[in-house]
Chains A and B, each alone.
Chain A
Amino acid sequence: MLHYILRRLLRMIPTLIVISIMSFTIIQLPPGDFFDSLQAQLAESESKADQEAFDALREQYHLDQPIWKQYLHWVGGCLQGDFGYSFEWRRPVSELIGERLGLTFLLSFGALIFMWCIAIPIGVYSACHRLSLGDYILTFIAFIGLCIPGFVIALIAMYVSVFWLGGSAGGLFSYEYQYAPWSLARVWDLLKHLWIPVVVIGAAGTATMMRLMRTSMLDVLDEPYITTARAKGLAERWVVYKYAVRVAINPMISVLGMQIPQLVSGSIIVAIVLGLPTTGPLFYRALETQDMYLAGTFLMLLAIMLLLGNLMADILLAWADPRIHLD
């Protein structure tokens, strides 16, 4: 097992190199750079835009050099934990992303737990009561959930929260706790705000997982060993939960590793609409202002998370399903 993981990690190295090159290239695609847009802004506001000062800035951040040199410089820094400097925020990228990563993961984990808690029982119910009224209704709701764009769900959730429940309009903290140090009260405040984004981010995933669990469960329920269990006179509940669900859940486990990275990237649009202090809006803003190191690092980080998620999925599946051998 350890051998296998090591081999997979080694094979990731060339992939990582290509990913870093691609991230950097994509971020470089827009014409001009951050200082061009800054210069244009300054010229508009009639303050003196000193060409020499900008040239000096470009030189300081190596923007005057050919692209491959800029790339090598950036990658060299990345290997030492220095992901570059955000022009807009005037702070290191690692710091900016780091302070928002915690809440991003918290939200994604929340959405993950929400998805599993809702999708698995409903999937099992749907499969056990196949083609019943309940099954039809749940399937239909899942279908609808898949068809509403995430940002529309976010808008509706915001509306419900503000005008029906008297809550806040997005964000993760109330005004008085926004910049307060961590305390029990602040945690409670966070939890009060957390459920809206968690439900919104988890909505589409829940629908997909529900369908997956239902299909998988239907396959398993047809297996001869289930018939055997029933023939032996086991209670139906026992047959379903002890025999069927334990096997039917394998496909869910195999997607589990990918779900966190998928949730992180899937939540970007929702986070922008709800104004959450997570990494998504930071990335969006960085794309708009051509804050290239910030955007590039985030893109690369997501790709790395997907890679690791893939590996984790394989390991988890091998752990859950004794029929699978990795070596």
Chain B
Amino acid sequence: MTKTKEALYTAGQWRLAWIKFRRNKVALAAGVILALLYLTTLFCGFIAPYETDHRFAQRPFVPPQAIHLFSDQGFHWSPFVYGLKTVREPVTGRQLYEQDRTRIYPIRFFVRGDLHKFIGLSTRLHLFGIEAPPAEGIFLFGTDQQGRDLFSRTLYGGGVSLTIGLVGVFISVLLGAFLGVASGYFGGWFDELVQRTIEMLRAFPQIPLWMALSAAIPPDIDQLTTYFMITLILSFLGWTSLARIVRGKVLSLRNAEFILAAQLMGASHGRVIFRHLISGVMGEVIVIATIAVPTMILAESSLSFLNLGIRPPMTSWGVLLQEGRSLTTLYFHPWLLIPALFIVITVLCFNFLGDGFRDAADPYSE
């Protein structure tokens, strides 16, 4: 037997799962993209050139700006954007923009701009920006009706949309795994109570129940509380499916020899549950949790889109999409739908990642 084979045969459960997961290139790529998205969100104040409420009053509905390397004078070493000049459409009087090829604004890195909080300290440093009069700006994704930079707002919105899924799933997992393990392990009246509760909650269709509960959030509370209430509402239903699956798994594990052995050796209930049962269902829990994240992200964006979730001035991808709701917006300003692209990419990646985890966690898969 070769060294590598020996290593494979003696490898632990987690190591085997990792070896299997690594071979799934799609899942791996999805994981990397998600990591990048979360990192960008973490540093959104630094990466975004402007703050969410920075208004360019004379620049409403600017289409996404192109970054150039060549101008009339030839090649430039640093990428640049042109300044904008406004023109009126003759018939409708709508404000349109044209590139002003005489004004060239090179993109500078580590520039000073809006004040923002960055890991607890306030700073004016931004990753990139342009040095220009205050009326001009760099708008990679264009601007909205109030002249706010959509790129910056998308990054800030990601902070809410991406974390709400994670926090919501975290709460669901805590609740679901704990109640699922306990009700499978102890059985009896406790099991009965948990199962009936789950049945009642699941008797309601998800979306209308979410809508009704979100509508109950008082409009005058502060942003952070709203955020947590939405998370709680999403996990209020989310834990039930997890608890069911965990319970089923625990029921099959409960009578396994190694559990009996632990009990005979005098292990307490707590030790059996936390040391043996939880670790036994861990793989399953991770898989379900990964697949539950996109559901929550989609739910949050739908609720916010309907004005029932996150409310302005806080931004999330759903809030941003609300502005692209009318047909005229869709026709004249299609770039307002860019945040939808981020939702799709995130959800897609989480699904691929979940698939990868499932294959890796299954000891019988090839």
Q: Is B140 an interface residue (CB 8 A)?
A: no
CB pair A151 B305 closer than 8 Å: yes
CB pair B325 A273 closer than 8 Å: yes
Query: Cβ of B206: which chain A residues have Cβ within 8 Å of it?
Result: 265
What's the Cα separation between A147 and B306 when bound, in Å? Answer: 19
Interface string of B289-326 (1 = CB under 8 A from A): 00000100010011001101000000000000100110
A: interface residue count bin: 35 or more
Q: Is B133 an interface residue (CB 8 A)?
A: no
Out of B211, B216, B331, B340, which one reaches A284, CB within 8 Å?
Answer: B211
Name the residue in B215, B216, B330 with the highest tally of chain A Cβ atoms < 10 Å from its Cβ.
B215
Interface string of A163-201 (1 = CB under 8 A from B): 100000100000000000000000000000000000000
Q: Which of B118-156 contact A (CB under 8 A)?
A: none
CB pair A147 B348 closer than 8 Å: yes
Within the complex, the shortest CB–CB distance from B332 to chain A, in Å, comes to 11
CB pair A307 B211 closer than 8 Å: no
Stretch at the interface among B53-61, B183-191, B197-205, B255-263: B197-205
Out of A19, A31, A143, A264, which one reaches B204, CB within 8 Å?
Answer: A19
What's the Cα separation between A243 and B218 when bound, in Å? Answer: 57
Within the complex, the shortest CB–CB distance from A266 to chain B, in Å, comes to 6
Nearest A-chain residue to B204, judged by Cβ:
A303
CB pair B205 A288 closer than 8 Å: no
Query: Cβ of A307: which chain B residues have Cβ within 8 Å of it?
Result: 203
Q: Which of B322-362 contact A (CB under 8 A)?
A: 324-325, 327, 330-331, 337, 340, 343-344, 347-348, 351
Number of cross-chain contacts by CB at 8 Å = 106
Query: Cβ of A272: which chain B residues have Cβ within 8 Å of it?
Result: 306
Footprint of A on B, CB under 8 Å? 199-200, 203-209, 211-213, 215-216, 218, 294, 298, 301-302, 305-306, 308, 321, 324-325, 327, 330-331, 337, 340, 343-344, 347-348, 351
Q: Is A1 an interface residue (CB 8 A)?
A: no
Name the residue in A15, A30, A152, A303 with the highest tally of chain B Cβ atoms < 10 Å from its Cβ.
A152
Out of B204, B215, B218, B331, which one reaches A288, CB within 8 Å?
Answer: B215
With A147-B294, A149-B301, A149-B302 in contact, is A269–B348 under 8 Å at CB?
Answer: no
Query: Cβ of A306: which chain B residues have Cβ within 8 Å of it?
Result: 203-205
Q: Is A43 an interface residue (CB 8 A)?
A: no
Name the residue in B205, B330, B337 with the highest tally of chain A Cβ atoms < 10 Å from its Cβ.
B205
CB pair A26 B209 closer than 8 Å: yes
19 contacts between A and B (CB under 8 A): A18-B200, A18-B203, A19-B204, A26-B213, A29-B212, A30-B218, A144-B348, A146-B347, A146-B351, A148-B340, A149-B302, A149-B343, A155-B330, A265-B206, A268-B211, A299-B204, A299-B209, A303-B204, A306-B205
CB pair B302 A269 closer than 8 Å: yes
List 3 tightest A-B contacts by C-beta distance, closest first: A29-B216, A265-B205, A287-B215
Nearest B-chain residue to A298, judged by Cβ:
B208
Query: Cβ of B203: which chain A residues have Cβ within 8 Å of it?
Result: 15, 18-19, 303, 306-307
Within the complex, the shortest CB–CB distance from B352 to chain A, in Å, comes to 8
